[in-house]
Structure 1
Amino acid sequence: TILLHLGSYLPFKLEYLCFDLHYIKASEFEEFLRQSQHTFIKKLLINSNEGQDILPSIKEYIMKRKRVKYLAISDSSREYTFGSYSHNVKELFSLNYEVDEFRLYNIEVQSYLSLKIDSYNYIKEIN
């Protein structure tokens, strides 16, 4: 996948990187983090609709190496029950013990929507 090779093409410093992926395979994400280990990302956002647990890799390659300033991770899923879909969203921001651990490394965990750049508002703001 693209994620496997993206890490080797990133510059040393990024202001903003947003992943909005349907499925994250933990081993591929870990490889991306390994390949991009020399990149500092000011704002890193990750949204996945399905996938494997990537938090251990985030802690190893992002948190312990202080590679981001702001972090947002959202895990969205849809379930079909009783004839309708329900949308469930879990965010790292809502897990206080995890937020506190990241804070020890000077990483500010925020909600996904608070960090996501809304293109309409961004264009309106710069005009």
Structure 2
Amino acid sequence: MFFKLVVFLISLLISTSFGAGDENLSFVYNGFRSAGNNLSLDGLAKFTSNGLLHLTNYTQQQTGHAFYTNPVTVKNSSTNGTVFSFSTTFIFGILSQIPTLAGHCIAFVISPTRGIPGVITNKRHPGCSA
């Protein structure tokens, strides 16, 4: 039905700062040529030769995911599970083969594992929502 192309364009900036002491984590991807082993790809996701991250292609109802490979602590176990604050910023583009039709979606997720455990996909929009 819908042929879509989702492309992270030019840069992805994710800056994460946690509130516990000096525990700070930040990372910046200005293109994905140097992402290497820091991102785990699945499904249709791939890096292009010009440094972009393609999450899907023109295949119908197929998805791709990219996950940061190293665990990030979001709860302080020594203070009764206080959740650390963080911020994130990212820039992306969604390019549709047929511009008058709806495009794919993109979501920032925090997951206990690499992947999205127990996700129920919407058949019209796989990977977006149930």
Q: Normalised by the size of structure 2, how large is the TM-score?
A: 0.24
Structure (1 or 2) with the greater helix fraction: 1
Higher RCO (CA-CA < 8 Å; seq separation 6+): 2
Question: Between Structure 1 and Structure 2, whose CA radius of gyration is higher?
Answer: 2
Structure (1 or 2) with the greater strand fraction: 1
